[in-house]
Structure 1
Amino acid sequence: MEIRQLGRQGLKASALGLGCMGMSRSYGTPDDVESIATIHRALDLGCTFFDTAEMYGPFTNEALLGEALRGRRDEAVIATKFGWEFDENGVQGELNSRPEHIRWVTEQSLRRLGTDHLDVLYQHRVDLNVPIEEVAGAVGELIEAGKVRYFGLSEAGPETIRRAHATFPVSVLQTEYSLWERDIEAEILPVLRELGIGLVPYSPLGRGFLTSDARRAEDYPETDYRRNDPRFQGANFDANTAAAASVREIAARKGATPAQVALAWLLARGEDVVPIPGTKRRERLEENLAATDIVLDDADMAALDLGETAGPRYPEAFMGMNGR
């Protein structure tokens, strides 16, 4: 597995990482046994970059990853996130990026993950009530104390990125980026390249849409996030299915799967890009990691320009969680 550098502070990760959220929430019923086996298989295949967050579960995903990495911590690069309040029953509340809260969350994450340091600590969402300079300063202090190694932002916009980076170096931005979500190319990606900040695309397979086995929203169980995703509904679903036809065509020509082509497209966007496709199954993991063997030429890349995706990328009720 190729190793890529993210940012200028020394962070290195496998070219493809593993998004762990779906092991604990949003996508069907959790299966801890298979999830742990998937994490172990990832390590065996050279995938070393694991993405989690206190919000996933909440809390249970960090604990699951910590259990899976017991005895193999030195092989892994762990990225987790802070940024929310939770009550005693684990019900998610308001955004909270106050420095004292960041310090408290970090201690809890270290405990659940069973480690003495976090490789990457992201602000999960921009908290407009706390200046980003205070957030960057708090994470910087944790880095200086040895509890965190690298500072990351998630779903931040250009101005926020610049202000944070001016206070303490940002190594990586995590945001949605894929063949069907390319909004960051206009303003955000140029800022990352200017400042030398790495990019970690989440939902690189369009929440499963680009794997060719997507179903209409109503066909997913109540526990699956996609049941409420506008892009899986009605006319949006039809339009997006038609747009993804070129992915399937190129995959068939190359003897690959649509997921592998979609990931290969992202890998070709730059050596500072490390996608984190999520799965809780070994079979799917192995399929995804084989994308590193797919070579796309200029004609392929041009054919994969799918145009604008039909429908907003989040339900209206979620949009407040994604302001930049």
Structure 2
Amino acid sequence: MRRTVLGRTGLEVSRIALGGYPFGGVNRANGWDPWSEDGRRTAIATINRALDLGITYIDTAPSYGAGNSEALIGQVMQTRRDECVLATKVGWSGMDKQAVIDSVYESLKRLRTDHLDLVQFHGGMYTAQEYHHIVDGGPLDGLRRLKEQGDIAFIGLTAEEPWTARQFLDVPDIDVVQLAYNLIYQAAARHVLEDARAANVGVVTMRTMTSGIFQRAARHLAPTWQDAADLYEVCLKFVLSDSRVHTAIVGMRWPEEVERNVALVDGFDPDFDLAELPRMTAHVYQAEDADLPT
């Protein structure tokens, strides 16, 4: 598995990460139930297979199945903790310093480890008021305390609306941002990725495969696309082709999904940096004109 360094953290991570949401979410249409005996057994096999094949970044959250995701990952961490960068999340809304500390300690218990590599504030979008609550109202102080004690190594945040993460890039404690960025939602490309690179902040993508939204829409809008190309593969290649992204989170339920995605990553050499993709009409025109023969 190809690896890179996660910004200024210095952590070496695989180019794709194992996302923990599927271990907390039921999907009856695909026969997936991580609370059933068979589902739990499969989830543990998937986590082990990811580690076997060199995926070194695992991301989860206490809200994924009310702790079920962390608990399943924790079963594997009992014996394989030193093989991965382990990241989870913590709430912040209505929480003070002590509440944040208590939440992380509960995550540590479920994950069966005495330390976490990264804890991220779990958010969608951040208003200026919410930013000040996190930075000045106690939550960040809670994570600072845990970092001072050696319980966590780095602090980050997640953002569904990437532009609202920009205000955190000047906060020295925030070393990693996890952003919604994919083929159909490219706001991060214009509003935060360049700033994150300039600050040497680690960049992790969520919604890497569009959470299935693009694929579902394509079934109705362009059904022949399913035969012409693997839309999931295109989505993954899109994110992997952007030099500003360090690792891309992919939710994987079955070991064969892990094998497929690892093979794709190992066999893919981008021939164009999506960081250079023009994203305004004038820039598209300029790029097309530049391609004309002289």
Q: TM-score range by the shorter chain?
A: 0.7 to 0.9
2:153 to 137, 141, 149: 149
Once residues 148 and 44 of structure 1 are traced to their aligned partners in structure 2, the CA distance between those partners, rounded to angstroms, is 25
Q: Given the superposition, is the C-alpha separation of residues 287 and 66 from structure 1 closer, same or farther in structure 2, using an over 3 Å criterion?
A: same
2:243 to 253, 262, 270: 270
The residue aligned with 1:178 is 182
Is this contact kept in 2: 1:132–1:160, CA < 8 A?
no
Q: Given the superposition, is the C-alpha separation of residues 262 and 248 from structure 1 closer, same or farther in structure 2, using an over 3 Å criterion?
A: farther
Q: Given the superposition, is the C-alpha separation of residues 286 and 209 from structure 1 closer, same or farther in structure 2, using an over 3 Å criterion?
A: farther
Once residues 159 and 74 of structure 1 are traced to their aligned partners in structure 2, the CA distance between those partners, rounded to angstroms, is 33
1:61 to 59, 66, 69: 69
More helix by share: 2
2:269 to 290, 295, 304: 295
1:195 to 191, 199, 222: 199
Residue deviations 1:43-80, cap 9 Å, x none?
Answer: 00000111100100111111110012221111121110
Code of the residue aligned with 1:51 in structure 2: it is D
Deviation of 1:16 (Å): 0.8
| Percentage of matched positions with identical amino acids | 30
The residue aligned with 2:291 is none
Is this contact kept in 2: 1:137–1:168, CA < 8 A?
no
Q: Per the alignment, in what secondary structure is the counterpart of residue 174 of structure 2? A: coil
Instruction: Please tell me the root mean square deviation across aligned C-alpha atoms, in Å.
Output: 3.0
Deviation of 1:281 (Å): 0.6
Q: Per the alignment, in what secondary structure is the counterpart of residue 116 of structure 1? A: coil
Q: Per the alignment, in what secondary structure is the counterpart of residue 131 of structure 1? A: helix
Deviation of 1:187 (Å): 1.0
Deviation of 1:18 (Å): 0.5
What aligned pairs does 1:1-324 form with structure 2 within 5 A after superposition?
Answer: 1-25=1-25, 27-28=27-28, 29-30=33-34, 31-83=39-91, 95-125=93-123, 126=126, 128-129=129-130, 131-134=133-136, 135-155=139-159, 157-158=162-163, 160-162=165-167, 164-209=168-213, 214=216, 232=217, 238-239=220-221, 241=222, 245=225, 249=228, 251=229, 257-270=230-243, 272-292=245-265, 293-298=267-272
Residue deviations 1:209-262, cap 9 Å, x none?
Answer: 45x5x4xxxxxxxxxxxxxxxxx5xxx8634x47x94x964x4xxxxx432332
Once residues 42 and 102 of structure 1 are traced to their aligned partners in structure 2, the CA distance between those partners, rounded to angstroms, is 30
Once residues 202 and 297 of structure 1 are traced to their aligned partners in structure 2, the CA distance between those partners, rounded to angstroms, is 23
Once residues 182 and 285 of structure 1 are traced to their aligned partners in structure 2, the CA distance between those partners, rounded to angstroms, is 25
Is this contact kept in 2: 1:260–1:287, CA < 8 A?
no
Deviation of 1:203 (Å): 1.7
Q: Per the alignment, in what secondary structure is the counterpart of residue 105 of structure 2? A: helix
Is this contact kept in 2: 1:20–1:280, CA < 8 A?
no
> Which runs of 5 or more residues in structure 1 are unaligned?
85-94, 215-231, 252-256, 308-324
Deviation of 1:208 (Å): 2.5
Once residues 204 and 23 of structure 2 are traced to their aligned partners in structure 1, the CA distance between those partners, rounded to angstroms, is 19
